[in-house]
Amino acid sequence: MGTVAGAFSGLFGVGGGTVIVPMLIAYFAYGERLATGTSLAAIIVIALLAAGMQGGIYGNVDVGTGLILVGPAIVGVIAGTAIQQRIPEKAVSFLFALLLIGVGIYMVVP
């Protein structure tokens, strides 16, 4: 699971949540909240390594833009976590499924 998430992160800049959360739920019977938290912990390391590889080896990282994104991302994390803790787990699963379907359609349809 970690290898797949890491490969998707390195290739496409995504993967952590879209790979780890469903696998933790389906294969390890994690609840949605536990799977989300576990995935976020893993993503820290995965994202740092992927960004380091892309930036350090290939020069594909704009550090200035990355620093600009940090503040709003922190606000989003706090807001998203607060919302997730206040809605039923089934609703979280349903919204996550809708998100994955929407992203899949967006990636396929030109």
In Å, what is the CA distance from 43 to each residue of 13, 38, 57, 87, 109? 11, 9, 20, 23, 28
Q: Give CA–CA dist 86/80, Å, rounded.
A: 10
Per-residue DSSP letter, 29: -
Instruction: Give the pLDDT of the chain (110 residues) as one tens digit per residue.
Output: 778 777 776 677 666 678 888 888 899 999 888 988 888 888 888 788 888 888 889 999 999 998 999 999 899 989 988 998 999 989 988 988 898 899 889 889 87
Tokens of 14: 């995504």
Whole-prediction pTM: 0.71
The helix/strand count (H/E) of the chain reads as 5, 0
Q: Reduced to 3 DSSP states, what percent helix, strand and coil does the chain have, rounded to the nearest 5?
A: 85, 0, 15
* Tokens linked to 26: 């389906």
